[in-house]
Amino acid sequence: MSSVGTISRVAGPFLLAKGMAGSRMYELVRVGEAGVIGEIVRLDGEKAAIQAYEETIGIKPGEKVVGTGKPLSVELGPGLVGQIYDGIQRPLSVIQDLIGPRIRRGVAPPALDHKKKWSFQPMVKEKTKILSGDAIGMVQETPLVKHWILVPPWIKEGFVESIVPEGKYEVTHPIAQVKTTEGSEKLHLMHSWPVRQPRPYKTMLPTDVPLLTGQRIIDAFFPTAKGGTATIPGGFGAGKTVMLQSLAQWADADIVILVGCGERGNEMADVIEKFPKLKDYRSGKLLMNRTVIVANTSDMPIAARESSIYTAITLAEYYRDMGYDVAVMADSTSRWAEALREISGRLEEMPGEEGYPAYLASRLAEFYARAGRVTTCGSDEKCGSITAIGAVSPPGGDFSEPVTGHTLRLTRVFWALDFSLAHRRHFPAINWFMSYSEYMRSFESWYENVGPDWPKLREEAMSLLKEEEELKEVVSLVGAEILGDKQRCVFEVAKMLKEYFLLQNAFHPVDMYCPIKKTYQMLRLILEFYERTKQAVARGVPLTQVLSLGVKGELARMKIVRPEEFDETNLAITKKMSEQFGQLAEETPEGESV
Amino acid sequence: MSEVTRTGRKFFTIREISGPLLFVEEVSGVGYGELLEVLTADGEERTGQVIDVSEGITTVQVFQGTSDLDVKASAVRFTGETIKLPVSMDMLGRVFTGGGKVADGGPELIPEDYWDIHGAPINPYSREHPIDFIQTGISVIDCMNPLVRGQKLPLFSGSGLPHKLIASQIVRQAKVRGQEEAFTIVFAAMGITADEARFFREDFMSMGVLSRVAIFINLAEDPAIERIITPRLALTAAEYFAFEQGMHVLAILIDMTNYCEALREISAARMEIPGRRGYPGYMYTDLASIYERAGRIRGKSGSITQMPILTMPDDDITHPIPDLTGYITEGQIILDRKVHKTGLYPPIDPLPSLSRLMDKGIGPGKTREDHKQLSDQLYYAYAEGKVLRETALVSGEAALTKVDKLYLQFADRFERDFIGQGTSENRDIEKTLDLGWEFLSVLPESEFSRIDPDIIKKYSPKHTRKDADNSLVS
Ligand SMILES: Nc1ncnc2c1ncn2[C@@H]1O[C@H](COP(=O)(O)OP(=O)(O)O)[C@@H](O)[C@H]1O
Ligand SMILES: [Mg+2]
């Protein structure tokens, strides 16, 4: 039952209450006449500290606090996909319909539409033995998502006593009765789950399949895994948000959960406007059919910013349990960490580095630990994954700060954003020397299936970029005059690699997405051009002649050739390259020098 | 104690005064965020707000400062209300103090309504994305970092840099093409000098726009704490004009650095654990509660475009004030002292500047189809030119190739005649883009890797002139 206490202090989003004996840590409470939603974040005898998920203006000491007996939980069931929620899973479109364009306190519509009827197909019969995680039926949630209705985690095993026939049911309608050792329990299309508690799985699996993103620099050089982790730190304007949005659009995950955590309202508006129109390249269906958005912008209550990360990862686990590959993108985990810091400061806890609480690292670790590829609970061997990708916004763009530091230790892929690239509008501004992927080695055989010479190409490309960097040093010391065509060719082709391959415009209708095969072919062609150029120069062909070959222009335009036409383009360019370089040889017979 | 007896009654129970804060005891029934009146011994009335309330002690920030207050003879009177701004169309053409009082000697307003100055967060689902290009007539802004109606785009300046001139030029020239309606201006000044205030007022007057400006001024000598509410009052007025009256508002907030200093002062008086460089850990969230009030709302015809101006302490862009601002606003226009010293106006460095809404606001039908690609190429070329300029400085021109030297030439001309323009020179977007092409054509076409060949053919002067020549011949 619910306990009742009284408010003794209000300071912004932070409240103290007394007379709270019997309350539990992380219990959800309602405060005062307005019924402001809060969560107990510290208990000390009969005193409780509460973080409020809504505005606290006007709340007075003496107002009453009612415990709900439940921790902060999310509703899980059909109807999640396509929604946009705030940090405590309130549906923002419903809030708009209820109270207009501004968010005010006191509205708490259910996360799922309790009135909507879903077509349910039962998959088990009466008397069937079931385990936690077994599917008892299916709802086609969107054209892209088959929503399996699973036996919830708290029922370890049992028998189906009864199950409803195929038909249309609300999420709260009992669809099955299950007998367990503890008694008999009704199951519904939905259930609720506390966000701070990870959902169980059977075993953790190795992460050896890349999560393809359609972004060339990532897929070719710094891939993350299905079930992996990645972080993208960068100062403002370096390209975090655009990258996360590109990943949300093009990553080959089944479900994408995008968290706007303490960031701009207009960026969320942009996604809400764009996603329902964009098509998934694999299915041709609209992207919104696989996306859930959690938007707690910077002007929305800070406690709900803190919880938004947990809300998102819990939704991810729910779909993982169905056997899906889920990707969670959080923009930005720094704002989440700041929310932690602010709450901790109000609790007058001992501050650690830069005022962050000492438990910052462990909270971050808990979040990233909920990523992974697993065999899910249930009788069948099902495999699901969560990839967790977090943006970090280091103060002053300086990576030597606590949130970046801890995150780098906890994640296995680092996409380092570089101001100097961003300032010359080289996007994605991922620095190719600083970034890394610790998964690369376990992907080798996967890549060799796409093209046997992948590892070689990758190495050649990197060493070309390194060589250019070293030559630049030399030039700045002794001048460009000493450069022969052999060195100049490094500059020229490195520039081609950067401009024609690494540079990728997230807003160009074709360039925004590059399938892995095209990425491979593009890289191969540029490096073939390099190889041939080196040979020609060694033969004494002036570099200027090579650079004026028509095929160079075609290499420049590869990125805007549609993927479905690229096999043809690939052949055509290969052919032209061989012809045009061949003619060079004829015009400039061997031996003749410049 | 009941509500009725509490409000309206005077309490002489101030226990302590510290910096801008009062600590009051023995009052019950006070709500967090409540507005109150503070009365000095000789009857002067000030306003305050409850920022922390517990059973024993109520903490109050006093907007007009605490000088001349004392614990014995001063009193507080609670109102049971939150801080509200009386709003009406008659705010236009008027000047108010930073605390919202009439400051031009004119009559008091007859309010249409009273609006809470803290606003309420806009549901992200209800936002309409800004898409209308605002032509400011300043090339480096319009071409490289265009302003879009409903955007929040700050000027990052430094003391002594001409941000006032730029702001004034923008107010004078800004327009959405094809639309008659001029911007309604809300001007909020925090801690600026009387001279600066006069500059703006006279400027608005000389432009003949005074009747569409609402001015809120907190001067350098005014109480610092008042700066906490000045931008909130101004933005409440802006919201009234935009979302109640359907007007397009341009809100200028100057100088956000002074605002942040006031924030720091309160935090220090509350003895909070400071965040980076002594600024409160919640400064990001606090600034967001101001900047996020820009935008458009679905179903409403008006908009708020924000141009906050801040002076970067020590010209340091990594200082928390510009840093946190840049993390919230939709880009930034950066003034550069080195450039200013060369005498160039406007001394805007396009490279670290950014307009995040550029892609939404430009292109065919809005500006021109070549706009984005041209600006991308200009970015690349100027960045290249600047790097080579450094190289040439260190190792002499001999270190450069032939093409390198052309990049140098480009960078020089681009700075002088593209970025550089007169304080009252108003270039339309076609003129700006054509200029961009002209300077770019110093470089060989093979360098234009960021522009589609068709676009080059259509817009590059080399081609357009040739076409013109050809047509002359035939
Ligand atoms: N891949 C990209 N392609 C084109 N433009 C980009 C790309 N990434 C970033 N940008 C540009 O940089 C700006 C800032 O990027 P954003 O992702 O918002 O930065 P951050 O989130 O790091 O502050 C964008 O508004 C866009 O103009
Ligand atoms: Mg961002």
CB A241 within 8 A of CB A391: yes
A208: three-class secondary structure by DSSP: coil
Sign of the torsion angle spanned by Cα atoms B256, A356, A24, A303: positive
How far apart are the CA of A413 and the centre of ligand 2, in A?
A: 19
CATH code of the domain in which A33 resides: 2.40.30.20
* pLDDT for the residue B465: 78
Within a domain: A100: no
Residue A3 pLDDT more than 80?
no
**Count of domains in chain A?**
4
Going residue by residue through chain B (474 aa), what tens digit of pLDDT does each one get? Answer: 334 445 677 889 999 999 999 999 988 889 999 999 999 988 899 999 999 999 989 999 999 989 889 998 999 999 989 999 999 999 999 999 999 999 999 999 999 999 999 999 999 999 999 999 999 999 999 999 999 999 999 999 999 999 999 999 999 999 998 888 889 999 999 999 999 999 999 999 999 999 999 999 999 999 989 999 999 999 999 999 999 999 999 999 999 999 999 999 999 988 888 888 889 989 999 999 999 999 999 999 999 999 999 999 999 999 999 999 999 999 999 999 999 999 999 999 999 999 999 999 999 999 999 999 999 999 999 999 999 998 888 777 877 888 899 999 999 999 999 999 999 999 999 999 999 999 999 999 989 988 988 999 999 998 887 766 665 544
Q: Which residues lie across from B60 on neighbouring strands? A: B22, B50
* pLDDT for the residue B10: 84
B220-240 per-residue burial string, b: 16 or more CB within 10 A, e: under 16: bebbbbbbbbbbbbbbbbbbb
How far apart are the CA of A91 and the centre of ligand 1, in A?
A: 28
Closest residue by Cα to residue B50 from B26, B80, B70: B80
CB-CB neighbors (< 8 A) of A354 in chain B: 275-276
Q: Which of B144, B356, B377, B380 to mutate to test the pocket of ligand 1 (most atoms within 8 A of CB)?
A: B356
In chain A, the residue whose alpha carbon lies closest to the alpha carbon of B331 is A237
How far apart are the CA of B329 and the centre of ligand 2, in A?
A: 10
In short, whether A233's Cβ falls inside 6 Å of ligand 1 is no
Percent of chain A's residues with pLDDT above 70: 98
- H/E stretch holding A495: helix A485-496
- Contact A594/B at CB under 8 A: no
CB B156 within 8 A of CB B308: no
CB-CB neighbors (< 8 A) of A426 in chain B: 380
Q: How far apart are CA A588 and CA A593, in angstroms?
A: 9
Q: A504 and A426, same structural domain?
A: no
CB-CB neighbors (< 8 A) of A92 in chain B: 123-125
Q: Choose one of A154, A189, A224: the last residue of a domain.
A: A189
- Ion ligand 2 — residues with CB < 5 Å: A 240-241
Question: What is the average per-residue pLDDT within A251-271?
Answer: 95
Spatial neighbors of B286 by CB under 8 A, at least 6 apart, are: B263, B280
Q: Residue A58, class by beta-carbon neighbours within 10 Å (0-12 exposed, 13-18 middle, 19+ buried)?
A: buried
Residue A346 pLDDT more than 90?
no
Mean pLDDT estimate for chain A: 94
Q: A324 and A207, same structural domain?
A: yes
In chain A, the residue whose alpha carbon lies closest to the alpha carbon of B349 is A423
Q: A174 and A239, same structural domain?
A: no
How far apart are the CA of B339 and the centre of ligand 2, in A?
A: 28
How far apart are the CA of A239 and the centre of ligand 1, in A?
A: 4
With an 8 Å Cβ cutoff, are A57 and B32 in contact? yes
With an 8 Å Cβ cutoff, are B395 and A476 in contact? yes
Instruction: List the domain range (segments joined by +) for residue A582.
Output: 451-587
Within a domain: A592: no
Q: A147 and A44, same structural domain?
A: no
Spatial neighbors of A35 by CB under 8 A, at least 6 apart, are: A106
Residue A147 pLDDT more than 60?
yes
What are φ and ψ of residue B106, in 5° steps? -80, 180
Q: Choose one of A50, A71, A92: the last residue of a domain.
A: A71
- The most distant pair of C-alpha atoms in chain B lies apart, rounded to whole Å, by 97
Between positions 351 and 370 of A, the ones with CB within 8 A of B are: 351, 354-355
- Contact A492/B at CB under 8 A: no
Residue A82 pLDDT more than 60?
yes
Looking at all shown ligands, the one closest to residue B356's CA atom is: 1
Looking at all shown ligands, the one closest to residue A298's CA atom is: 2
Closest residue by Cα to residue A74 from A92, A61, A88: A88
Higher per-residue confidence, A23 vs A1: A23
With an 8 Å Cβ cutoff, are A397 and B52 in contact? no
Any idea which residue has 């962050």 for tokens?
Answer: A356
Q: A482 and A343, same structural domain?
A: no
Q: A413 and A329, same structural domain?
A: yes
Q: A295 and A242, same structural domain?
A: yes
Looking at all shown ligands, the one closest to residue A243's CA atom is: 1
CB A294 within 8 A of CB A86: yes
* pLDDT for the residue A537: 93
Looking at all shown ligands, the one closest to residue A429's CA atom is: 1
Q: Choose one of A128, A160, A189: the last residue of a domain.
A: A189
Q: A480 and A406, same structural domain?
A: no
In chain A, the residue whose alpha carbon lies closest to the alpha carbon of B150 is A266
Query: How would residue A74 be classed by pLDDT, with cut points 50, 70 and 90?
Result: very high
Within a domain: A108: no
How far apart are the CA of B325 and the centre of ligand 2, in A?
A: 12
CATH code of the domain in which A474 resides: 1.10.1140.10
Residue A51 has, within 13 A of its CA and on its CB side, a CA count of: 24
In short, whether A507's Cβ falls inside 6 Å of ligand 1 is yes
CATH code of the domain in which A396 resides: 3.40.50.300
In which region does residue A486 sit, left (phi positive, over 0), alpha (psi from -120 to 50) or beta (all else)?
alpha
- Contacts of range B102-109, beta carbons closer than 8 Å, 24 or more positions apart: B103/B217
> What is the pTM for the complete model shown?
0.94
With an 8 Å Cβ cutoff, are A500 and B124 in contact? no
Smallest CA separation from ligand 1 atom 26, residue: B356
Within a domain: A97: no
How close B50 comes to chain A (CA, Å)? 9
- Contact A277/B at CB under 8 A: no
How close A524 comes to chain B (CA, Å)? 20
Q: How far apart are CA B402 and CA B395, in angstroms?
A: 15
How far apart are the CA of A235 and the centre of ligand 2, in A?
A: 9
With an 8 Å Cβ cutoff, are A58 and B32 in contact? yes
Within a domain: A92: no
Q: How far apart are CA A313 and CA B377, in angstroms?
A: 41
Q: A468 and A356, same structural domain?
A: no
Q: What are the tens digits of pLDDT across the range A460-485?
A: 999 999 999 999 888 877 777 778 88
CATH code of the domain in which A155 resides: 2.40.50.100
ipTM of the modeled complex: 0.93
CB-CB neighbors (< 8 A) of B123 in chain A: 92, 95-96, 101-103
- Contact A560/B at CB under 8 A: yes
Q: How far apart are CA B89 and CA B81, in angstroms?
A: 23
List, as one string, the DSSP characters of A371-429: -EEEEPSSSS--EEEEEEEEEE--GGG-S-SHHHHHHHHH-SEE--B-HHHHHTT-SS-
How close A84 comes to chain B (CA, Å)? 8
* pLDDT for the residue B3: 41
Q: How far apart are CA A13 and CA A546, in angstroms?
A: 66
Q: How far apart are CA B401 and CA B228, in angstroms?
A: 55
Question: What is the average per-residue pLDDT within A299-310?
Answer: 94
What are φ and ψ of residue A205, in 5° steps? -110, 160
Higher per-residue confidence, A584 vs A390: A390
Within a domain: A402: yes
Q: A309 and A428, same structural domain?
A: yes
The DSSP 8-state label assigned to residue A530 in this structure reads H
Within a domain: A105: no
Q: A583 and A498, same structural domain?
A: yes
* pLDDT for the residue B400: 81
Residue A590 pLDDT more than 80?
no
Within a domain: A102: no
Q: A403 and A297, same structural domain?
A: yes
Question: What is the average per-residue pLDDT within A41-46?
Answer: 93
In short, whether A392's Cβ falls inside 6 Å of ligand 1 is no
* pLDDT for the residue A1: 45
A9: three-class secondary structure by DSSP: strand
Q: How far apart are CA A543 and CA B403, in angstroms?
A: 14
Q: How far apart are CA B34 and CA B8, in angstroms?
A: 13
* pLDDT for the residue B4: 42
